[in-house]
Amino acid sequence: MSGYELYISVDVETSGPIPGEFSLLSIGACLVHQPETSIYLELQPDGIRVDPEALVVTGLNLNHLKQHGLAPLDAMTQFENWINAATNSEKKAVFVGLNAPFDWSFINYYFHKYLGNNPFGYTAIDIKAYFMGLTGSDWSATKSSHMVKALCPSRRSSHNALDDAQFQAELFSLMMQR
């Protein structure tokens, strides 16, 4: 890890495939090198569409989130404050995700919609692409199940955003050690 960069593993659960129409429902994030330093946020839905299959995968309940989730502005403010505290204004936060284009698109959209800026900027590392480069594998071999066989992490994916962010952090750490 560079002295100027801080890798942050981020995972999201959503109500569908694209921001703007579908809602960001939960965010889990942790420091890659210290996964117990983490944040988990559940958001009130703000999108107009719902993909029922996406909700089955997340296990989240929209009615519960409407009543108990954070308003998106509050959630993104808390997430930005957590990132700023972790970086201490001395390091650049670098987004790390397993299928980063999907997760980053929601995070970027919500940061810009609610706060006007994204503390990650345009930096994102996709763990699938990193694994592909590390192993010389084809894209089809970048499923997390293939990574688990190759890297032997102790954690597993659960579709809870924080659990998955910590799982991803372990995968990325194991790849960086190679």
The tokens of 108 are what? Answer: 């970027």
**For residue 15, what is the DSSP state?**
S
Percentages of the chain per state (helix, strand, coil), in multiples of 5:
45, 20, 30
* Active site (catalytic) residues: 159
Contact 177, 42 (CB under 8 A): no
Residues 54-92: pLDDT tens digits? 999 999 999 999 999 999 999 999 999 999 999 987 899
CATH label of the domain that carries residue 127: 3.30.420.10
- Nearest Cα neighbor of 172 from 140, 126, 121 is 126
Residues 16-44: pLDDT tens digits? 999 999 999 999 999 999 999 999 999 99
pLDDT value at residue 97: 98
- Nearest Cα neighbor of 100 from 122, 72, 77 is 122
Residues 138-147: pLDDT tens digits? 999 999 899 9
Residue 1 has pLDDT above 80, yes or no: no
Domain count along the chain: 1
Domain holding 61, by residue range, is: 5-177
